Amino acid sequence: MKKPIVFTSEHEMPPMAVSLADMGHNRTGSWRYLRPVYSEKLAPCKNACPVGNDIPRILSLVSQGRYEDAWRLFRETSPLPGVCGRVCYHPCESFCNRKDFDEALSIAAIERFVADACFDLEDRIPERPKRSEKIAIVGSGPAGLACAYFLAKDGYAVTVFEGASQPGGMLRLGIPPYRLPRAVLDREIELIARWGVEFRTNTRVGQDISLEKLWEQHNAVFIATGAHQSRALNIPGEEFALTGLEFLKAVNAGKTIALGKRVLIIGGGNTAMDCARTALRLGAHPIVVYRRTREEMPAIAEEIEEAEHEGTQFEFLAAPVAIRKLNGKLEVQCIRMKLGEPDASGRRRPVPIPSSDFIMYTDTVLKAVGEEPDLAFLSEHLETSEGIVIERAQGMLERAGIFIGGDAQTGPSTVAQAMRSGKEVAQKIKSFLRGERPPKATTLEEAVRVNFNYFTHRPRVATPQLAVSERILSFAETKRAISAEQARVEASRCFSCGVCNSCDNCWVFCPDAAIARINGHYEINYDFCKGCGVCAEECPRSVISLVEEEL
């Protein structure tokens, strides 16, 4: 009934007080001053993901057993789900709203499961217009690979130049296979190549080909050469120490390194942890010497735990001051440190305690006190300050079509951060080639509030691990995959923050029956919605916002 009934005389009225129509003429929507609107929010996990994986939607697909769809959704935002599911330090999990309820979702384990389950799948490569512009990418680490993938998807002709014999950069040279099996890396690089990316290995820019030449032959150049230059200890006898990263590269390349029994690793970052765990697998006893305490270690907490779990010893608040060789053994003179005032990084500065020197005996010393980008081939345009690359003239390189990203720009960071950088550069290059301004990055504008009342406590899935006794015998991957059933159950723990999963609560709780369900979606009838706000309040995942009506 759209119109009110109007009686013009008593004869038109029924003989007794009986209703003749429904209340459809009464548009209670006019009472409303707040309008509920479905507006999906950026989930904190997705916001925290450096490559912007659409985690709530992916987990929703996994919870329905739709692993292939989940894998394809990963590949929309990242060419390396198998790699990231293993080596990413998963900032998504640190921001997971579920951690305030019981435990964060095990997102990395699910990503890895999906990648493994879909190992044999291929991307569907659509017919797309070939573009004439040619792009050179220097370096095939995560930054270079990500950039290549996203440019190639848009039809650009991409050539990746790699100094080593195989592509992968630090993923292949630096990360030990017990964290990242090479078959996974090979497969994901192969899939990137399918998009038409050409890999030119054994070609070191600055040696085998000059940057100038690349620049002349291409419309844009991306420099993603990483940070491979190890920092020096600057102490007497430094020549007796091996470089941690070179050690890792040699072992990862299959070379035999005689370490002896005791190995001292100087430094507290991820390279140091990789060195310690690799040394363990070569039968040595690693001791990490770090000048601050465990809390200040720059390595990812999980790596520190694993290294310790496997048998690495730690010597905190100690720094080497000299290395001497005695009868084939090394004698490392260390000094005891204490923590002083915070430095520029916010960590407390280590201060030597006078006359506290002590000696540590060892067979090998590995130095792993940080890496820096080596951009000698660019030296006339750039300078580095504390590992950060600064252009001599601001923006000059980009105006010429030369872009720098990944660790080469920032100093050592994470795989995911390098991928983010590569992805951003791909966008910058597209804008550059089209003569446009690059689009602005989106940020989290509204916090997602979860209504915990609609959830029950359920424990997080535990990632199966090889036993330590088995682990240290080989370079086999230490973490095992979770099962399909575990992945499905774990994914169903997701709150689906900010993303509607058709739970029906808005429809259930509307006191005005003003919400319709249409194929798993909802429509609010604003003719009748009074704007009480119950739907927004009871939405478990903040999908509904209340906005003020315009008068």
Partner 1 sequence: MRNFTLPERELMGSGHLGCQGCGGALAMRYALKALGEKTIVVIPACCWTIIAGPFPYTSLKVPVLHTAFETAAVAASGVRAALDIQGDTETTVLAWAGDGGTFDIGLQSLSGAAERNENIIYICYDNEAYMNTGIQRSGATPFLAWTTTTPEKTPKSEPKKDIMAIMVAHRIPYAATATVAYPDDFIRKVQKAKSIYGTKFLHVLAPCPPGWKAPSEWAIKLSRLAVQTRVFPLYEVENGERYTLNEPKDDTALPVSEYLKLQGRFSHLTEKDIQAIQDLIDKRWQRLLRQVRESA
Return residues touching partner 1 (CB under 8 A).
1, 5, 13-14, 17-28, 31, 453-456, 501, 503-505, 508-514, 525, 527-528, 530-534, 536-538, 540, 546
Residue placing its CB nearer to partner 1 in the complex, 208 or 527: 527
Could you give the CA distance from residue 331 to residue 236 in angstroms, rounded to a whole number? 12
Tell me the closest approach of the beta carbon of residue 26 to partner 1, in angstroms: 4
Tell me the closest approach of the beta carbon of residue 531 to partner 1, in angstroms: 7
Tell me the closest approach of the beta carbon of residue 43 to partner 1, in angstroms: 15
DSSP codes joined into one string, 91-141: HHHHT-GGGGTS----HHHHHHHHHHHTTT--------PPP--EEEEE--S
Residue placing its CB nearer to partner 1 in the complex, 143 or 497: 497
Could you give the CA distance from residue 372 to residue 211 in angstroms, rounded to a whole number? 20
Residue placing its CB nearer to partner 1 in the complex, 458 or 479: 458
Q: Which residue has the tokens 């848009």?
A: 154
Tell me the closest approach of the beta carbon of residue 289 to partner 1, in angstroms: 49
Residue placing its CB nearer to partner 1 in the complex, 26 or 431: 26
CA angle 363, 369, 374 (to 5 degrees): 115
Please compute, for residue 63, the number of CA atoms within 13 A of its CA located in the half-sphere on the CB side: 17
Tell me the closest approach of the beta carbon of residue 343 to partner 1, in angstroms: 46
Tell me the closest approach of the beta carbon of residue 436 to partner 1, in angstroms: 43
DSSP codes joined into one string, 358-415: EEEEESEEEE-S-EE---GGGTTTEEEETTEEEESSTTHHHHHTEEE-THHHHSS--H
Could you give the CA distance from residue 82 to residue 86 in angstroms, rounded to a whole number? 7
Could you give the CA distance from residue 451 to residue 466 in angstroms, rounded to a whole number? 38
Residue placing its CB nearer to partner 1 in the complex, 231 or 530: 530
Q: Are strands 157-161 and 134-138 parallel, antiparallel or unpaired?
A: parallel
Please compute, for residue 380, the number of CA atoms within 13 A of its CA located in the half-sphere on the CB side: 3
Tell me the closest approach of the beta carbon of residue 368 to partner 1, in angstroms: 46
Could you give the CA distance from residue 520 to residue 502 in angstroms, rounded to a whole number? 6
Tell me the closest approach of the beta carbon of residue 448 to partner 1, in angstroms: 15
Q: Are strands 285-289 and 348-352 parallel, antiparallel or unpaired?
A: unpaired
Considering just the CA atoms, what is the radius of gyration of the chain in Å? 29
Residue placing its CB nearer to partner 1 in the complex, 90 or 493: 493
Residue type at position 301: A
Residue placing its CB nearer to partner 1 in the complex, 59 or 185: 59
| Ramachandran bin of 489, using left for φ above 0, alpha for ψ from -120 to 50, beta for the remaining angles | alpha
Residue placing its CB nearer to partner 1 in the complex, 105 or 148: 105
Tell me the closest approach of the beta carbon of residue 509 to partner 1, in angstroms: 5
Tell me the closest approach of the beta carbon of residue 2 to partner 1, in angstroms: 10
Residue placing its CB nearer to partner 1 in the complex, 168 or 540: 540
Residue placing its CB nearer to partner 1 in the complex, 235 or 503: 503
End-to-end CA distance of the chain: give it in Å, rounded.
27
DSSP codes joined into one string, 490-508: HHTT---TTS-----HHHH
Which two structure tokens, joined as six digits, stand for 386?
């504390």
Tell me the closest approach of the beta carbon of residue 41 to partner 1, in angstroms: 17
Residue placing its CB nearer to partner 1 in the complex, 31 or 358: 31
Q: Are 397 and 391 in contact (CB under 8 A)?
A: yes
Residue placing its CB nearer to partner 1 in the complex, 220 or 510: 510
Closest CA to 82 of 188, 205, 237: 188
Tell me the closest approach of the beta carbon of residue 541 to partner 1, in angstroms: 9
CA angle 423, 427, 431 (to 5 degrees): 165
Residue type at position 258: A
